[in-house]
Structure 1
């Protein structure tokens, strides 16, 4: 099960990479990774990861909304 943390980390970094390239899919990958981290936390009984996943999920959501708002403003001109 230890290798899962490496895989989940790679998924999260990939989401950040996509978001940095201004792909809306980056935010979806990042949020999806947090769901996986929650599952990992429960399965391995590493409860601290739940707080981490919630915090990261909140930041991903907040940044997506800010990014989307700015994108809409540019589109409006």
Structure 2
């Protein structure tokens, strides 16, 4: 493995959190997609513990995305008509 993996994983994860913090749904999706990178890393380095963390983090990202989407949808429905 090259040292670039750690830079890539850190950058993608940080970008996802940054976007989620700015209330952009793409942040949760970037974080969810990053778990694919973690799975590839775990398999290529034979560090199988990262598979568990990718599943846990992936489920949290998916749950938060669905909650964000539900909240955003409710805001649209309750917006007063002008």
Shorter-normalised TM range: over 0.9
Gaps of 5+ in 2: none
**TM score, norm. by length of structure 2:** 0.88
Aligned length: 77
Gaps of 5+ in 1: none
Q: Which protein has the larger Cα radius of gyration, Structure 1 or Structure 2?
A: 2
**TM score, norm. by length of structure 1:** 0.93
| Misfit runs of 4+, over 3 Å | none
Q: Name the Cα RMSD after superposition.
A: 1.0
1:40 aligned residue? 41
1:69 aligned residue? 70
- Higher helix proportion (structure 1 or 2): 1
Partner SS, residue 10 of structure 2 = helix
